[in-house]
Amino acid sequence: MKYIIFSMSHITRVVGILAFTVFMLGAAEVTAQCEGSLSVEKNRNSRSADEDGAMFWLELKNTSSRSQTYMLSYETLKEACGNAAYGERGPNVTLNVAIGEGQQRSNGYTVRAGQTARVMVLVTVPEGTPINRWSCIEMKAATEACTNSPLTTTLNVFVPDPSQG
């Protein structure tokens, strides 16, 4: 009877190769789940917010091979933004952001493979907000599997002087 003897270095090497293979397969799966794009309809990322606010239509496209549920969120960027020809270039002002329409406001959207969802975003100006200033709002769409690298697009919103409207 013959015995096969494996050295400890041989076993360590085999375990390392298996662990690397499993890791790479998992990474490929996560990458596939993060496929898609987030953009503003007709690339109209900049708007003025009058007394009714500024409405944007986002296009959330799923380019993966299966349905994905995206959670939408936003963040007011700290860096000054906007166009110096229109208003002051100072710190961004904080505005109200509502995702979705009317009674169907939601942050979660399921998009079938290869399809695009349209999502309304309404940005309104709270009372007392400085005028002639900008707010840059980064919209984010992430699936459960790719929260660390969400799809993003930026909304540029100008707060005009209502007396000059």
Cα angle 156, 116, 64 (rounded to 5 degrees) comes to: 110
User: Is 4 buried (19+), middle (13-18) or exposed (0-12) by CB count in 10 A?
Assistant: exposed
CATH code for the domain in which residue 115 is found? 2.60.40.10
Number of domain units in the chain: 1
14-24 pLDDT tens trace: 555 555 554 55
pLDDT of 11 above 60: no
Q: Are 60 and 70 in contact (CB under 8 A)?
A: yes
Residue 24, domain member (yes or no): no
48-66 pLDDT tens trace: 998 899 999 999 999 999 9
- Share the mean pLDDT of the chain: 82
Residue 31, domain member (yes or no): no
For 76-85, 94-103, 142-151, which range has the lowest pLDDT when averaged over its residues?
A: 76-85
What domain range is 112 assigned to? 36-164
Instruction: Please tell me the pTM assigned to this model.
Output: 0.75
The single-letter DSSP state of residue 82 is S
Element (H, E) at 13: helix 8-33
Cα angle 33, 35, 37 (rounded to 5 degrees) comes to: 140
SS3 33: helix
140 Cβ contact list (under 8 Å, min separation 6): 38, 72, 73, 74, 75, 150, 151, 152
Residue 1, domain member (yes or no): no
At residue 6, φ and ψ (nearest 5 deg) are: -105, 135
Residue 99, domain member (yes or no): yes
Residue 2, domain member (yes or no): no
